[in-house]
Amino acid sequence: MPSLTRAEAAERAALLSVDAYTIDLDLSSPDATFDATTVVRFGCRRPGAETFVELRPDTLHSVTLNGRELDVAALDDNRLWLTDLAADNELVVRATMAYSNSGEGLHRFVDPADGEVYLYAHTFLDAAQRIFACFDQPDLKAPVTLTVTAPAAWTVLANGAGERVAPGRWRFATTPPLATYFVTLVAGPLHSRYAEHGAIPLGIHCRAALAQALDRDADELFEVTAACFDRYQELFASPYPFGKYDQVFVPEFNGGAMENPGCVTFRDEYVFRSAVTRAQRMERAVVIAHEMAHMWFGDLVTMRWWDDLWLNESFAEYLGTRVAGEATRFTDTWTDFAISRKTWGYAADQRPSAHPVAPERVDDSADALLNFDGISYAKGAAALRQLATYVGDEAFLAGLRKYFAAHGYGNATLADLLTSLGEVSGRDLWGWAALWLRESGVTTLRPAGEVGPGGRYTAVSVVQTAPSSNPVLRPHRLALGLYDRGADGRVTRRERVEVEVEPDHERTPVPALTGRPAAALLLVNDDDLTYAKTRLADRDLAALPELLPAVADPVARALLWSAAWDSTRDAEADPTGFVNLAVVGLPTELDPGVFAQVIGFAADITAGQYLTAARRPGALAALASACAEVLASVPAGSDRQLAAARGLVRCAGPGEVETLRGWLGGRNAPDGLAIDADLRWAVLGRLVVLGAAGTADIDDESERDRSAHGVQHAARCRAALPDAGEKARAWDAIAADETLSNRSLLALAEGFWQPEQEELTAAYVSRYFQDMPTMAARRSAQVVSQVAGAAYPRYAVRAATAEAAQRLLDRTDLPAVLRRVIGDRTDDLRRALAVRSLISG
């Protein structure tokens, strides 16, 4: 499919104005297709000119332009050319369209729990043309009027308020102007709950099999939604602009959620069927707040083209974290942001694919897809937090209000936003933007302190460095935290000193600390106000195993964990040091979200990739012992108990097999720990990898859990079996099976590679580089991005793997998304090789 270029979009936007879409869909057939009739009314500024409309039909039946029949054979791939345009035009397109199994277009899902069919439309990024004929670019916004015919027992939802006008027939209110990639519908025998918040009708919906789980959480979901609405309308001084607000939890969703105005779709894993920690509930609240932020940033004001993606995602990421923390009971959202989201951003910002938050240009929509990453989300959000600190929060919010007033229901660019912020704050922000938004890369900050004989600082500086490959320094407004150990043994902050780091020199003196008593810990970027990797002073680093478990503030602990992890990933420290830090630090880590992140760093990456096969079992055993220590000491039924149990499962070795078998058999589980469906699958998955469970056990668990999630868990477990035949079947499906849905394919890829099975899977290392180009040619870009990443041989940490990858990357015919995935995963592999080189003995 030709990808729409930036130049083509600009030319078409200069030529056309789109007045309205009227779409009629017939979803009543049980076949793999549906019928779509689209009427597009649009103006042309140069009558007599020509343009094209996008459409990807199964069968194109008829096309009429201003009463003139066009030849359906003229459809060239996804482009239908329209010639001799009038000043005012009406295009009528009748087509049969295909459902998808990729999470794009109109996705069709049959629930294995009850056989019911569900549909949802995901028109991002340029998938609207899979459903209706359109000018598929973000700056040709238009009102949408939708009618739908569906089975009589179904509920149908869309962007506008819906009305059932006859059995199976639905009519939806005309929307405000929407970009095509926001148009959605959801259909099926949905389970629904409704409420109101002021003038806003609220709905939450899921498939029938999840009804009980949704009902358990309905009050929390409505409470979080209402609180976030109140906070946004207060911050923006602007009412919610799209009428009703449905939130729909849909199956086999590719991302976390999608900000369709009036009808937000979420992955239905956020309907918790098993026990979860408070950290997971907080994550869900942040996602709810993130998508709600998009109602203003993205939906009300839409980027003109994908090079300003940050106007959508960076703002939603920043505001979602901020508003969830300010408006709901989840007040510690910035802790998770520090150790989870920013770590994602730092990694993305050091890979070959690193790009600016706001690149100068994105040449086509295919390239745009590649930028939905930790830079556009986490780094952009961190930059915005720094910008709010830089100009002051009141000026920042006033600038946003001015921006909405100037560009509501239209499109905007970086220049438009900076103009609004600059006019309110009185600052010229172009220099700031040039360094923060137009340049890629991450800098590193470290404190440099000299202590005199009396135990007082004689000099303190903040040192900023950048890699030689990208020597760009940035301005930072940040804080230095001075932490001391009290009589109770806890390490708490004594004082906080604000510092302005300028980009024109590497060392910034902090004269305010001269003569002050030296701290037990000098923490740069205290409160995590800026975006930069941080390091500790040598003395503090040496004392970290004793200091970190005693630090009281959760954000400070998250920053310390992140600094230790960054230095490990950057091959500055022996990886066994991070494992040892985790072993001493996890038993006192009170935040279950931080606990889960640290176990992931330590077990999955450090032990799984950075340590050799000879050292891995000892590291995992030590980590499992730390988790067992927590399990034995925390209250029954607590979040820490669940986090520790999951950690024990992740790290389990032969010594834990009987314990895990007992849990599955209903024996010896810790009091208060629910051995529910998702934990059972996690336990079984680990036993499978260890060779302590097999096909029969997977079959038995599948009988116990016939849900859609159970099907995916079973596929993941089968791919993880240490059996040559099962590996061959799984790989053949990953490489060539086009019938599997996006999530089933991903589950196989996630289960296939295991660090304990290097010999068994050795032959598939070369198969990966042989087969991925063929797989990529058969699958959509979003599926390729996820599956090729999960299927990469990440545990084959050998120079030969990197060499095989480079041979593939040297080809000139790779799809951009596959090149991106393989290039980034290979960079991670080379990092693993560098880290392994530090291991002594």
Residues with catalytic function: 291
Lookup: tokens for 23 = 């779409």
**Angle of the 781-790 helix axis to the 763-778 helix axis, nearest 10:** 170
Cα dihedral 317→251→247→100 (10° resolution): 90
Pull the structure tokens for residue 562: 């992140």
Q: Which amino acid is at 722?
A: P
Helix (H, G, I), strand (E, B) or coil at 265: strand
What are the tokens at 2?
Answer: 């030709």
Cα 63 from Cα 95, distance rounded (Å): 9
Residues 6+ apart with CB under 8 A from 234: none
Q: At what angle do helices 724-736 and 708-720 cross, to 10 degrees?
A: 120
Q: Please state the separation of Cα 398 from the chain's center in Å.
A: 29
Residue 479: helix, strand or coil by DSSP? strand
Residue 476 DSSP symbol: E
Pair 168, 152: CB distance under 8 Å: yes
- Cα(712)–Cα(750) distance, rounded to whole angstroms? 10
Overall residue count recorded for the chain in this entry: 841
Q: Name 841's Cβ contacts closer than 8 Å, sequence gap at least 6.
A: none
Nearest of 20, 53, 26, 298 to residue 182 by alpha carbon = 298
Closest CA to 114 of 170, 153, 148, 168: 153
Secondary structure string (H, E, C) spanning 786-826? HHHHHCCCCCCCCHHHHHHHHHHHCCCCCCHHHHHHHHHHH
Instruction: Please report, as a single letter, which amino acid is at residue 164.
Output: R
Burial class (CB in 10 A: 0-12, 13-18, 19+), 563: buried
d(CA 734, CA 746) in angstroms, rounded, equals: 8
In 130-200, which ranges are continuous DSSP H helix? none
